[in-house]
């Protein structure tokens, strides 16, 4: 649990001002700017950003709040309050880039996962490094997000790299929130709030992220499920992988345990028929 929550801070979204150009501001010759060259420059800059800019970005270009307010009073721009983390998802498809074609084994695994999207469905995804497990994760998340649900992805401490996050953020247009030890208290609280209120369709984190509240849980993925860093050895002792299975059962959603070298526990359960074994 974020430290600020333990200290009594309310689970409420922090917001920031977001400035966009109105229909009048997109006119060829907006009125009222003949004697206000800096306002005209500010409007021109905002026109170049289809989705608008936050106040900090505007002020960084040597413009002022007074100039912003003047354009608002003229009806040329407008201001909206947006959450700091997990803002509104773009309308339309969830993908920013197309999914990759699947090979036979990946397609078989995806077929098995699609059979259980509406129920508790534990699956051990067993494949060597480089066999394409991440692409299976991504396409499962695509299906979950397409159903207006959320996906929780747990990765080992060493696996949550900027490259990992970049791959997810390049694939999806919806907000992707990360939870790890490098966050400040405010950033961690923002991520929890975005997940709890459903504004973060995709949550990626290390072992403590298993406690993240989700408004509309749709699937849980544990990458490198055999990794020892999923065990909490001090204080409150737990195994994030095992809690993930329990949580998926409670929510009635699928869970994927991925590994090139599965743990003996997971391999035993797969061979006993408790987990579906996708190899």
Domain boundaries, the chain: 15-83, 104-278
**Cβ 266 vs Cβ 226: under 8 Å:** yes
How do residues 198-238 score in pLDDT, each as one tens digit?
Answer: 989 999 999 999 999 999 999 999 999 999 999 998 888 99
Instruction: Check: CB of residue 111 under 8 Å from CB of residue 103.
Output: no
143 Cα distance to chain centroid: 15
Q: Are 221 and 139 in contact (CB under 8 A)?
A: no
pTM for this entry? 0.74
Question: What CATH superfamily is the domain 104-278?
Answer: P-loop containing nucleotide triphosphate hydrolases (3.40.50.300)
CATH 1.10.10 is the classification of domain 15-83: yes
Q: Is 8 exposed, middle or buried (0-12, 13-18, 19+ CB in 10 A)?
A: exposed
pLDDT tens column, 153-200: 999 987 777 788 888 989 998 889 998 878 888 888 888 888 998 989
Residue 257, sorted as left (phi over 0), alpha (psi -120 to 50) or beta, turns out to be beta
């Amino acid at each position: 649990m974020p430290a600020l929550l333990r200290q009594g801070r309310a689970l409420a979204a922090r917001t920031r001002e977001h400035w966009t150009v109105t229909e009048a501001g997109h006119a060829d010759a907006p009125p009222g700017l003949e004697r206000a060259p800096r306002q005209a420059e500010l409007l021109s800059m905002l026109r170049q950003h289809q989705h608008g800019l936050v106040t900090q970005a505007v002020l960084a270009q040597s413009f002022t709040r007074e100039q912003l307010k003047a354009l608002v009073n003229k009806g040329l721009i407008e201001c909206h309050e947006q959450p700091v983390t997990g803002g509104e998802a773009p309308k339309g498809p969830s993908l920013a880039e197309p999914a990759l074609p699947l090979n036979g084994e990946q397609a078989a695994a995806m077929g098995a996962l699609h059979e259980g999207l509406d129920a508790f469905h534990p699956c051990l995804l067993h494949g060597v490094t480089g066999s394409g497990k991440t692409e299976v994760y991504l396409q499962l998340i695509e299906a979950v997000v397409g159903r207006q649900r959320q996906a929780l992805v747990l990765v080992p401490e060493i696996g949550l790299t900027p490259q990992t996050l970049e791959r997810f953020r390049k694939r999806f247009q919806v907000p992707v929130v990360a939870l790890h030890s490098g966050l400040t208290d405010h950033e961690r609280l923002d991520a929890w709030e975005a997940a709890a209120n459903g504004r973060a369709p995709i949550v990626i984190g290390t072992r403590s992220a298993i406690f993240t509240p989700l408004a509309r849980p749709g699937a849980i993925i544990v990458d490198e499920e055999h990794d020892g860093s999923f065990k909490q050895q001090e204080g409150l002792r737990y195994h994030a992988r095992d809690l993930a299975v329990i949580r998926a059962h409670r929510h009635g959603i699928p869970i994927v345990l991925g590994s090139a070298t599965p743990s003996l526990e997971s391999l035993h359960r797969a061979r006993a028929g408790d987990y579906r074994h996708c190899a």
